[in-house]
Amino acid sequence: MSFGTRLKWAREAAGLTQKQLSEATEIGISSISEFENDVRGPSALQMVLIGEAVHRRSDFFYEAGEPQQEVVLWREKPADTGAKVELQLIELAGQFHRLEQCVGNPTLCELPQVSCGSHPFGFSDAERLAHDFRKSHSLGERPGSTLLRVLEEVCRVKVFHLPFEPSGTAACTLDEGYGAAILLNSNNIRWRRNFDLAHELFHLLTWRIFRVGENTTCASEHEEKLANCFAGSLLMPPEPLRLAVASQRNGKSSLDFDDLFEIARQFDVSVQALVWQMVSNRLIEKVKAREMLEKIDGKVELWERRRDETPPTRPIRYEALAREAIEKGMIGTGMFAKYMGISRRAAMKIVETEIYAGMEHEANAEVEITDP
């Protein structure tokens, strides 16, 4: 496939017209057309601008063979910004994996892939999967506080945070090129992000079951309900939840808002998720659950946001790998700035600071060695 054909493919995959690509890069439409028709090629600077606009590495346009469209599964794809956010996720996941390769640690995702045999995958299967995953990864009775760390450090899932609308959605992708990645909404509170993380984990674990045929990029309503079932069961195991509810009730006929919040805090989930999981475990009736949620409506968000913090876009391991890569001379300052999402000047300051710190450390080590 020629350069021009791959450029057209990448532009369309990014949801851009030739006019929009021209506006994003300040390259004339006639030049864009000539590039796509292989009349002539872009300059080095134009190539950089085009790559940034369509979220592709420059070498992508010169690779052999047909490009493969990455599959990103959304709960609800943002209507206006979905294509852009999706490409940001793919780009970040690719950058993460290239950093892993730079420092000699290219291990891809180590999540187990579930199959269901000949029978349809049901709610009991989702609950069993949650139990097995919690047990095999030693998540304990309250997995909410450790799930993100285990997924990132043990399972090698690349988890990123970006702001987008609507807030009640998230995405995931699984690709041979960069492994497994999850995108969470940084606008959401931590408890909501925890549930979204567990929800998207279900999709990754069952990728080979549901990402076949016409359901590649869209989950059915049934699959989404299964994912919610899995997330609730994973984060709020039946027996620990029952004991927590009984302890908080402590002889009272019903739970008030403070009781619900305390239990939700223990499991690191939202009050809403807690209430519906209590329904699932037959600890309260569905009618009672609706009454409870209506009664506390308006209090929940203010209460839950009191101690919330906006998460960083990139995982800690990603940033550590980027710093290691530039320290060892495997990437330049410009690439480091791009990977970290900062200006070149800010990148140079980081590099200079770390070089100085390294020299100071070496000097101190020499003093310790030579001191009598």
Residue 186 corresponds to which amino acid?
S
Instruction: Report which of 187, 189, 195 is spatially closest to residue 269, judged by C-alpha positions.
Output: 195
Same domain, residue pair 161 and 137: yes
Given 304, 324, 352, the domain boundary residue is 304
Given 206, 232, 258, the domain boundary residue is 232
How many angstroms separate the Cα of 73 from the Cα of each of 89, 127, 260, 291? 11, 22, 32, 34
Percent of all residues in the chain with a pLDDT value above 70, rounded to a whole number:
91
**Residue bearing the bigger pLDDT, 65 or 102:** 102
Please compute the mean of the pLDDT values over residues 210-214 and round it to a whole number.
75
CB 278 within 8 A of CB 244: no
Same domain, residue pair 258 and 225: no
Helix (H, G, I), strand (E, B) or coil at 250: coil
Identify whether 80 is part of a domain.
Answer: no
Q: Does residue 135 carry a pLDDT above 60? A: yes
For 26, phi then psi, to 5°, come to 60, 30
Please compute the mean of the pLDDT values over residues 218-231 and round it to a whole number.
93
Element (H, E) at 100: helix 82-102
Q: Residue 356: what pLDDT?
A: 53
Identify whether 343 is part of a domain.
Answer: yes
Q: Does residue 228 carry a pLDDT above 80? A: yes
Quick: pLDDT tens for 241-258. 999 999 998 878 788 888
Same domain, residue pair 186 and 104: yes
Same domain, residue pair 210 and 294: no
Same domain, residue pair 335 and 201: no
Q: Does residue 273 carry a pLDDT above 70? A: yes
Same domain, residue pair 126 and 37: no
Please compute the mean of the pLDDT values over residues 81-100 and round it to a whole number.
90
CATH code for the domain in which residue 20 is found: 1.10.260.40
Quick: pLDDT tens for 145-197. 999 999 999 999 999 999 998 888 999 999 888 899 999 999 988 889 999 99
Identify whether 328 is part of a domain.
Answer: yes
CB 133 within 8 A of CB 234: yes
* Structural domain that includes position 347: 316-370
Same domain, residue pair 175 and 248: no
Given 232, 267, 291, the domain boundary residue is 232
* 179-185 β-sheet, strand order: 72-74, 171-175, 179-185, 158-162
Query: Taking the model in full, what pTM does it have?
Result: 0.84
CB 198 within 8 A of CB 151: no
Q: Residue 302: what pLDDT?
A: 60
Residue 129 — very low, low, confident or very high, per pLDDT cuts 50/70/90?
very high
Q: Residue 372: what pLDDT?
A: 47
Identify whether 83 is part of a domain.
Answer: no
**Residue bearing the bigger pLDDT, 234 or 260:** 234
Q: Residue 367: what pLDDT?
A: 45
Q: Does residue 359 carry a pLDDT above 70? A: no
Q: Does residue 104 carry a pLDDT above 60? A: yes
Identify whether 311 is part of a domain.
Answer: no
CB 233 within 8 A of CB 222: no
Quick: pLDDT tens for 337-349. 999 999 999 998 8
Identify whether 309 is part of a domain.
Answer: no
Least reliable range by pLDDT among 49-53, 70-74, 301-305: 301-305
Element (H, E) at 273: helix 271-280
Most confident of 69-83, 114-128, 222-236: 222-236
CA distance linking residue 19 with residue 27, whole number of Å: 9
Same domain, residue pair 99 and 211: yes
Identify whether 310 is part of a domain.
Answer: no
Q: Residue 121: what pLDDT?
A: 92
CATH code for the domain in which residue 162 is found: 1.10.10
Residue 361 — very low, low, confident or very high, per pLDDT cuts 50/70/90?
very low
CB 160 within 8 A of CB 183: yes
Same domain, residue pair 95 and 198: yes
Percent of all residues in the chain with a pLDDT value above 90, rounded to a whole number:
53
Same domain, residue pair 212 and 98: yes
Same domain, residue pair 141 and 217: yes
How many domains, in total, are found in the chain? 4
Identify whether 326 is part of a domain.
Answer: yes
Same domain, residue pair 252 and 322: no
How many angstroms separate the Cα of 64 from the Cα of each of 42, 52, 59, 60, 178? 19, 21, 10, 9, 19
Q: Residue 27: what pLDDT?
A: 94
